[in-house]
Chain A
Amino acid sequence: MGDWSMTSPLGVSMENSEISSISRVTLSSSRQNHDSLYSSSLPLSKSSHNVLSAFCIEENVPQCILYINQELSSLGLASMCIATPVEATLNSVPALNAMYELLQAQRRSQRSLEALEQDLLRTSSTLEHLQTGNYRLKDQLELLKREKSGLHEKERQLQLKIETLQSCLKSEKEEIQKLQNIIAGRASQYSHDAKRKERECVKLKERLGQLLIDKRDKKLAIDVLNYLGRSDGKRIQWKTGKAGTSHEGDMYKSLLNDYEARQQSLMVENSELKKVLQQMKRDMMYILSPHKPCAKASPGDDSPERGFPPAGLEGQDEVGECSRENLDQSCEKAREQLTYSIRLQWRRLKNHMEKLDSQVSLAQTQQQSGSEEAVPREVHEEEMQRMRLEVQQGKDFIHTQQQLLQKQLNSSFDDETAALLNDCYTLEEKERLKEEWRLFEEQKGNFERERKNFTEAAIRLGHEKKTFEEDRAAWLKNQFLNLTPFVDRKKYSLSDSQSALSIRSEPELQQSYTPAKLTKSSTYNEFSTTYSSISDGLPSTTELYRTLHLIQPETRHSKRGSWQEPSSPIRAENLFGKSKCSVRCRDPCILSLDKDGDSPI
């Protein structure tokens, strides 16, 4: 900045007018550099000198000159050759002119720059000014908008007010109209009455005038032929004070009668209402109290019931109150007590109902949410799960079993041999099974037969025993009776006859049973042996039968069941039937045998 003042005297005089421009400050450094070119006395910075020296040095002067020439010509300044074309030397006049023109150009450009800068500054300031103005206006606009809305609101309220006032006005007008109508009606009524009265007044006046004029007063009189008796037949009484009092008395009596009648009816109504209230109270107490025993019996039950044992206890108090109430019905206190107790019961009933309602709603909500039923439902679910699991397990087990079975069956062989083997195996088993069944059946049949025989034998034994006893008795009798030497002959004959009888009976029986016992199985002997093992003391079956000639010795049959060899089936049947009957009547426990025995025949 300090150099600035220095340059002014050095600078050309025509540039002095432009010194005042502010833009010079910025250009001072460049100007300084340029000015330093002219003045040698300036304490030039070595750098500029060096710059210049970089361009032009003593060696490349002609090139510099040429270059500058070119530049000048390109710039279009002075198309003057500052250098002589022959010698590359600097022509001073054109050079000075060129320099002068350059300076001029420089000054011009600087001036334009300054002007531009000024314009820029100006525009920026105007811009700022405009911006501030804009902001201000925006704020104003906001304010105004708010004001506008506020005013709108006020206007609306005022409108409402206007409407209400208008409606008020209308109603007031209507009321006024109504009142006016009323007034009009009354006025017309008054005028009507007034007119009537006036007419009457006029008539009165006329009458009065007439009377005054007339002066002939027609007396009022009654002309009766004869006076009548009173309608009730009594004589007329003198008008005394007593009559007055008696009338008063009568009047009061009638009034009292009426009041009494009314009071009676009210009392009746009252008592009926009281009864109704009592009944209601009892019903309410009954409704509330029966929960008491339930609560005691099942304490784990619903919760509301537990809350009501006090109701029962209090009910007992109230029963006492009831009796008290009944005693003095008309007493004020009793009435109050009754109403109080009714209210109490009602309140309790209401509470109860509310509780029930809340419970119901709770239950409903819980049902919806599923939490109250959660416990049983969960348990139920668990049970279901478990059962499903079991079912699944069972199914799996069955499946595995099936698989194993299949595998086993199809394990080592191919299909055909496996099937064949299976078949063989099963066939063999079947055969064996059949055999065993047959054997079993045979044995069963034999067993039954033997049982039958045994029973029959037992019966026969019984018979024989009986006959033997009879024989013995007879023999003893004979002996006793024939205590003579000639006893022996008779005895033997009798005994023979007896024994012959017995023996004779046997072949019959024997005959009957032989067809039945013709066929025997091979295994019968085995059975008989078993029997013999069982009954030690007794003779074996076969021995018995042999002695009785029931069985034939050592017959053997392969077949079983060829019962179709009846020699005399009919007879056998008959005898069998007889024996059956006898068996039946003797020994009921052998009935089953008959049934068994019936089957083969």
Chain B
Amino acid sequence: MNFSEIFKQSNQLCRISPDGRYLATCVQYRLVVRDVNSLQILHLYTCLDQIVHMEWSSDSLFILCAMYKRGLVQVWSLEQPDWHCKIDEGSIGLVSSRWSPDGRHILNTTEFHLRVTVWSLCTKAVSYIKYPKACQKGIDFSRDGSYMALAERRDCKDYVSVFVCEDWHLLRHFETETQDLAGLEWSPNGCVLAVWDSCLEYKVLLYSLDGRLLSSFSAYEWSLGIKSLAWSPSSQFLAIGSFDEKVRILNHITWKKITEFEHPATICSPKTVVYKEVEKRPVRLHIITRNVCPTDEISQPPFQIPVVKPDLDRANPKVGVSSLAFSADGRYLATKNGGFQVHALSWHSNGDSLVLIGKEHLCLCYMDTEDKSTDSNIWTK
């Protein structure tokens, strides 16, 4: 593997464009756009303040740069470098900013989640959405980009509004049966919306596109509930990771649990392959942020995972299944349990390899596609 030279970046803002041709990085208040193959700087834009958030539009023509402190959003065009767009939220402040799926609207969430402003780059229209909910995941777009689900809270009750992204027409507005809605997620086929409650209550509600409640699922009471949730790519399964270190899979026909995966500290199953990273010599390549720590040995069962017992008295304890990711073909489910320093895990689109991104390291894991008998692979550091 060859390595390029090191480029500066700030705030971990490096994004490759959706069409894969460009790489955009932010350095303080500058936006640098490079060609992916040659890494030549194609464009260089200067923003008014330090860029906090940067996002490509879905058609890879525009880049959004948000500066929350100043309440500014600037949009840059790749085709026309002269084109500029600046959105000022004014005194109301800015908390988050994102593109709409069509790449022509920008949704800004104001401070204190007072409202969501939908700025259109095509027209002069501005839409406001009141009472958005400040939660883990309050806005979600369906995969085909036609609908947007927004969590709202009015009068101590949770609501979900479904908008048609084409013209921001409010399609449905319904109350949810949650105590404190923590997040919502569309199924990949865009017909079912999964809504889950905060961690104080284990509850998943499934609503159809037209707002009917299809089913609800609750595994247990009183203990801390759902930590993470993921749909399978075919929309057939819904994986729920909870604070009790278990992943429960629901099926889309009956919305009942079909299986349950545990994350025990001692693994005795012979079908499990455990890779343990052995710290041979920490190679200090300070110029590369990649850990060249090579050997993963396959440990023999029963294997004891070194678990650090977290402090359960604190809020949001570092226990439970915190991230879930299905592979692209739906064959594998990667889960992260406990307090391991893995910030994100994502699959390659062909479903063969997995990237584990930690605080300082990243790890690429390749699935053994020949050996189809392995039940689960566990990587530990």
Do the beta carbons of A222 and B111 come within 8 Å of each other?
A: no
Judged by a CB distance under 8 angstroms, whether B266 is at the interface is no
Judged by a CB distance under 8 angstroms, whether B104 is at the interface is yes
Please provide the chain B residues from 224 to 271 with a CB less than 8 Å away from any CB of chain A in the complex.
Answer: 224, 253
Residues of A within 8 Å of B59, CB to CB, are: 231
Q: Return the CB mask of A236-274 against B: 1 if under 8 Å, else 0.
A: 110100011001101110110010001000100000000
Judged by a CB distance under 8 angstroms, whether A297 is at the interface is no
Residues of B within 8 Å of A190, CB to CB, are: 200
Do the beta carbons of B121 and A189 come within 8 Å of each other?
A: no
A254 CA / B235 CA spacing, docked (Å): 15
A219 CA / B315 CA spacing, docked (Å): 39
Interface range for A: 35 or more
A184 CA / B313 CA spacing, docked (Å): 7
Do the beta carbons of A252 and B88 come within 8 Å of each other?
A: no
Ranked 9 nearest A-B pairs via Cβ: A192-B315, A220-B90, A218-B90, A258-B191, A224-B85, A223-B86, A218-B91, A247-B164, A222-B87
Judged by a CB distance under 8 angstroms, whether B169 is at the interface is yes
- The residue that A188 contacts in the complex, of B102, B104, B166, B315, with Cβ under 8 A, is B315
Residues of A within 8 Å of B380, CB to CB, are: none
Judged by a CB distance under 8 angstroms, whether A500 is at the interface is no
Chain B residue with minimal CB distance to A189?
B315
- The residue that B104 contacts in the complex, of A219, A222, A230, with Cβ under 8 A, is A230
Do the beta carbons of B126 and A227 come within 8 Å of each other?
A: no
Do the beta carbons of B169 and A247 come within 8 Å of each other?
A: yes
Q: List 21 A-B contacts (CB under 8 A).
A: A179-B222, A184-B313, A185-B224, A186-B222, A188-B313, A200-B112, A219-B90, A221-B88, A224-B121, A226-B83, A227-B122, A231-B59, A236-B123, A239-B167, A244-B169, A250-B164, A251-B164, A251-B210, A254-B209, A255-B210, A258-B189
Residues of A within 8 Å of B102, CB to CB, are: 230-232
Judged by a CB distance under 8 angstroms, whether B280 is at the interface is no
Q: Which residues of B contact A (CB under 8 A)?
A: 58-59, 82-93, 102-104, 111-112, 117, 119, 121-124, 126, 146-147, 164, 166-167, 169, 171, 189-191, 199-200, 208-210, 222-224, 253, 312-317
Do the beta carbons of B167 and A220 come within 8 Å of each other?
A: no
Residues of B within 8 Å of A227, CB to CB, are: 121-124
Do the beta carbons of B191 and A255 come within 8 Å of each other?
A: yes
Residues of A within 8 Å of B222, CB to CB, are: 179, 182, 186
Residues of B within 8 Å of A254, CB to CB, are: 146, 190-191, 209
Do the beta carbons of B171 and A247 come within 8 Å of each other?
A: yes
Residues of B within 8 Å of A220, CB to CB, are: 87-90, 92, 117
Residues of A within 8 Å of B314, CB to CB, are: 188
Do the beta carbons of A225 and B84 come within 8 Å of each other?
A: yes
Starting from the known contacts A190-B200, A239-B169, 7 additional A-B residue pairs (CB-CB under 8 Å) come to A189-B315, A223-B86, A230-B122, A237-B167, A254-B209, A255-B191, A262-B253
Residues of A within 8 Å of B92, CB to CB, are: 220
Q: Return the CB mask of A354-395 against B: 1 if under 8 Å, else 0.
A: 000000000000000000000000000000000000000000
Judged by a CB distance under 8 angstroms, whether A87 is at the interface is no
Do the beta carbons of A217 and B90 come within 8 Å of each other?
A: yes
Chain A residue with minimal CB distance to B112?
A204
Judged by a CB distance under 8 angstroms, whether A503 is at the interface is no
- The residue that A181 contacts in the complex, of B171, B199, B312, with Cβ under 8 A, is B312
Do the beta carbons of A225 and B82 come within 8 Å of each other?
A: yes
Q: Distance (Å) between the CB of B102 and the closest chain A CB? A: 5
Do the beta carbons of B121 and A243 come within 8 Å of each other?
A: no
Residues of A within 8 Å of B200, CB to CB, are: 186, 189-190
A553 CA / B253 CA spacing, docked (Å): 131
Of A179, A204, A221, A251, chain B has the most CB atoms within 10 Å of the CB of A251
Judged by a CB distance under 8 angstroms, whether A299 is at the interface is no
Residues of A within 8 Å of B121, CB to CB, are: 224, 227-228
Residues of B within 8 Å of A296, CB to CB, are: none
A236 CA / B104 CA spacing, docked (Å): 12
A188 CA / B208 CA spacing, docked (Å): 35
Q: Distance (Å) between the CB of A202 and the closest chain B CB? A: 11
With A221-B88, A254-B190 as contacts: A185 and B126 at CB distance below 8 Å: no
A237 CA / B169 CA spacing, docked (Å): 12
Judged by a CB distance under 8 angstroms, whether A565 is at the interface is no
A204 CA / B93 CA spacing, docked (Å): 11
Residues of A within 8 Å of B199, CB to CB, are: 189
Judged by a CB distance under 8 angstroms, whether A156 is at the interface is no
Do the beta carbons of A217 and B88 come within 8 Å of each other?
A: no
With A189-B224, A251-B210, A254-B209 as contacts: A222 and B169 at CB distance below 8 Å: no
- The residue that A182 contacts in the complex, of B58, B104, B166, B223, with Cβ under 8 A, is B223
Do the beta carbons of B171 and A222 come within 8 Å of each other?
A: no
A191 CA / B222 CA spacing, docked (Å): 16
Residues of B within 8 Å of A188, CB to CB, are: 313-315
Judged by a CB distance under 8 angstroms, whether A536 is at the interface is no
Residues of B within 8 Å of A248, CB to CB, are: 171
Do the beta carbons of B209 and A228 come within 8 Å of each other?
A: no
Do the beta carbons of A252 and B210 come within 8 Å of each other?
A: yes
Q: Distance (Å) between the CB of B238 and the closest chain A CB? A: 15
Residues of B within 8 Å of A223, CB to CB, are: 84-88
A258 CA / B189 CA spacing, docked (Å): 8
Judged by a CB distance under 8 angstroms, whether A214 is at the interface is yes
Do the beta carbons of A243 and B312 come within 8 Å of each other?
A: no
Residues of A within 8 Å of B119, CB to CB, are: 222
Chain A residue with minimal CB distance to B221?
A182
Judged by a CB distance under 8 angstroms, whether A229 is at the interface is yes
Q: Distance (Å) between the CB of B245 and the closest chain A CB? A: 14
- The residue that A222 contacts in the complex, of B82, B88, B224, B253, with Cβ under 8 A, is B88
Do the beta carbons of A251 and B171 come within 8 Å of each other?
A: yes
A181 CA / B315 CA spacing, docked (Å): 13
Do the beta carbons of A218 and B88 come within 8 Å of each other?
A: yes
Residues of B within 8 Å of A121, CB to CB, are: none
Chain A residue with minimal CB distance to B92?
A220
A203 CA / B314 CA spacing, docked (Å): 24
Judged by a CB distance under 8 angstroms, whether A211 is at the interface is yes
Do the beta carbons of A231 and B104 come within 8 Å of each other?
A: yes
